[in-house]
Structure 1
């Protein structure tokens, strides 16, 4: 009988947590995107617009693509993992800034705000990826990678790195609210040096050596290596994964400190 009561209590706790998570996700989507699907559709399409603006610029300027002969595929393979990383790492931080008052409710924890926003961003990013692939197919470009497993691993690593840096950002902004603007400037630098619009491996070796310390650059090369095996890109897979896991570990420990200070 005691076991039954304990099991029922655990089931109720899980059900309550799922209800809280659902409410946070629903509130997040309604406050950010509006009550209609059009608002959410704009957010899904925004990364796609980013990719196709780059394609349009290179097409109208008649600039040669750095790798291969397909402009849409080149920019899409570089931009998708980079944008996925940037959106998660930024929006996780913004979720805490916007929804901090919700933690006054005993059912809502700081981690719940972060986890709900991560789920929203992963789903949004995946829908954006489907839209990009659909547009590529409609214009006659085959979006299937030469090595699907390598492409999926690169995409998942971009998500993991975004979550890790997002957790660190939450800890920083808890002490320095101005970091929201600081990280925006930092993101611009990361994007410019990530290799979305150029091939880093074509640069002088001394410059390329230092650029490769940017794990986001290696993420774009990771994805491109799945589509352009003949390019023979040299990616330090262990370095990128360790960067993601290190960021996640530091972020979780820092969040524990932030939660402890808040509760105190």
Structure 2
């Protein structure tokens, strides 16, 4: 009688392949290391320039306003560098985060062609690296100002942490939305650069919200950076309440931009990368 059963002697049973655990964190870490090398590792001075840029801006504000205009005291406190640092550093955190995230797809375009690398990996990597860098700059400059001028301030740590967190999240939301808009419209890239140039003057970096004429305060209130900077100044100046600051407004606006940006990128990121 002929045996018609299939011959299984040559078959080798292999365990089913399992997906690698923690794939996204490893990918994000690799992208962060790559950017650290390309952005800071190849330029003379590296991270020194990340510190010198805000130092130069704060020094310029102090020289122009305190020395040039001969104004003896800032709007809050008695130290010009501290006053301008509490305005410029959260402003720089939000704007640099938005700028980094908005170019994340273009920066990692070649790596995003691999199936193991997602567009969200590129966004997370740039966000984390920029946030950690700006956080390092913040602590170094604030410590330096306090030591150099022998300052003793009563710090509201929750208000400072809230300001830094909102600045990072707002930059992430705006940057994610712009990552999509810049990819589909190069004209918006140029228009955004023009539209954001006056923001330094319209975000209460050089003055406080209460000094704005009352007829313009209602319009300026809708600028989320005004709230972020107000919270930071509440953290360093005990007499400043910044009652106008609304963390819920900033967070809500940031989440709207973030969700919309992610939805558009999820739908169109392959079309964008294949252009």
Indicate the residue corresponding to 1:114 in structure 2: 123
Alpha carbons of structure 1 residues 254 and 143: separation in structure 2 relative to 1, 3 Å: farther
Larger displacement relative to structure 2 (218-227 or 97-106) = 97-106
Distance 1:188 1:145 in 2: 33
Which stretch shifts more, 52-61 or 129-138? 52-61
Deviation string 1:50-84 (CA, Å, 9 cap, x unpaired) is: 22322233332222412222211111111111110
Equivalent position to 1:173, from 142, 161, 182: 182
Check if 1:138 corresponds to 2:147: yes
Using structure 2 for the length normalisation, give the TM-score. Answer: 0.84
Q: Does 1:66 align with 2:72?
A: no
The equivalences for 1:49-198 within 5 A come to 49-61=56-68, 62-63=70-71, 64-142=73-151, 145-198=154-207
Aligned pair partner of 2:37 in 17, 25, 30 = 30
The higher radius of gyration belongs to 2
Which consecutive unaligned segments of at least 5 residues does structure 1 have? none
* RMSD of aligned residue pairs (Cα, Å): 2.4
SS of corresponding position for 1:100? coil
User: What TM-score do you get using the length of structure 1 for normalisation?
Assistant: 0.87
- More displaced 10-residue stretch of structure 1: 200-209 or 79-88: 200-209
Aligned to 2:47: 40
How far the C-alpha of 1:42 sits from its partner, in A, is 1.3
Equivalent in the alignment of 2:9: none
Alpha-carbon deviations, 1:81-132, whole Å to 9, x = none? 1110000001111232232122112222211111111111011101111221
Q: Distance in 2 between matches of 1:156 and 1:179?
A: 27
Q: Give the 3 Å change call, closer, same or farther, for CA 86–33 of structure 1 in structure 2.
A: same
Which residue of the partner structure matches residue 232 of structure 1? 241
C-alpha separation between the residues in 2 aligned to 1:120 and 1:232? Answer: 32
Match of 1:242 among 240, 252, 264: 252
The structure with the largest helix share of the pair is: 1
| Inter-partner Cα distance in structure 2 for 1:145 and 1:105 | 51
Return closer, same or farther for 1:149/1:143 CA change in 2, 3 Å cut-off: farther
Please, which moves more after superposition, 130-139 or 207-216?
A: 130-139
Match of 1:19 among 26, 35, 58: 26
Rounded Cα–Cα distance in structure 2 between residues aligned with 1:240 and 1:22: 29
Shift of 1:141: 4.4
- Number of corresponding residues: 257
Distance 1:151 1:144 in 2: 13
Change (3 A) 1:197 1:176: same
Unaligned runs of 5+ in 2: 1-14
- Give the whole-Å Cα distance in 1 for the aligned partners of 2:241 and 2:25: 45
